[in-house]
Structure 1
């Protein structure tokens, strides 16, 4: 999978985010817990397989030293190939390069596959979280100089 940074207005990114929103709605995720528009303050990464955009993820600066990971999505036909894990690593590398070694995210409790992915990627559950959400964080090791 080729992973590259994309502008928030990129049409392939927009298609992935629309597919993600549709799928979240199918899971019954409440609209107030998800933003429908890309955030211009976030850095978006898109993963392509054979030239087709099939996955996305983003990070956004929070307080100093901290980034929020979000918008993780892999098209259903491409799941089970390790693409989400590759994308998480790429997002983590970008956040770390920007001086943000602590990553945080929240996941709906209705998404057990996402929860399992983050746990198996080294994210630990922390509290507090809003009702219906699970909050995770991961501290990345300092880069070797």
Structure 2
């Protein structure tokens, strides 16, 4: 998979966001937590055979931190390690931007996502919202 940085108005990003929103609606998840493009977020699109099949994003959060936004992989491309590749790409981009820690929040029913993040080195920390789980990871320093 090739991972490319895309603008918030990129048509393939829009198609991935639409697919993700449809999946969220079909699963009964709250509409208020859907993934929407914003100019202050960096979007990474995973491309396979010239087609955008996965998306991840991050944005600055607090002093020295980053927040990973939802990762989405089209159903036909799941189980191939694409989400894990996107996690690594987000971590590399955040670290290169001087952001040595990343946090993210999930719903407790997102069992597969929780397992993915935990196996990627994320640790659960207290959350202000009891309906959401918060995870964080300190990133290793870049060697110059």
Coarse TM-score class (shorter-chain normalised) = over 0.9
Alpha-carbon RMSD:
1.1
Q: Distance in 2 between matches of 1:86 and 1:98?
A: 19
Residue aligning to 2:109: 110
Relative to 1, partners in 2 of residues 1:122 and 1:36: Cα closer, same or farther, differing over 3 Å?
closer
Aligned-residue offset at 1:27: 2.1
Residue aligning to 2:4: 4
Aligned-residue offset at 1:111: 1.3
Give the alignment's TM-score, normalised by structure 1. Answer: 0.95
Deviations 1:35-75 (A, max 9, x none): 45211100000000011100000010011210000131000
SS in 1 for 2:62: coil
Relative to 1, partners in 2 of residues 1:131 and 1:121: Cα closer, same or farther, differing over 3 Å?
same
Give the gaps of 5 or more residues in structure 2: none
Aligned-residue offset at 1:138: 0.4
Q: Is the 8 A contact 2:24 2:34 kept in 1?
A: no
Structure 1 runs, 4 residues or longer, greater than 6 Å off:
none
Give the alignment's TM-score, normalised by structure 2. Answer: 0.96
Q: Is the 8 A contact 2:35 2:70 kept in 1?
A: no
Aligned length: 144
Give the gaps of 5 or more residues in structure 1: none
Q: Distance in 2 between matches of 1:36 and 1:107?
A: 13
SS in 2 for 1:46: strand
Q: Is the 8 A contact 2:13 2:55 kept in 1?
A: yes
Residue aligning to 1:71: 70
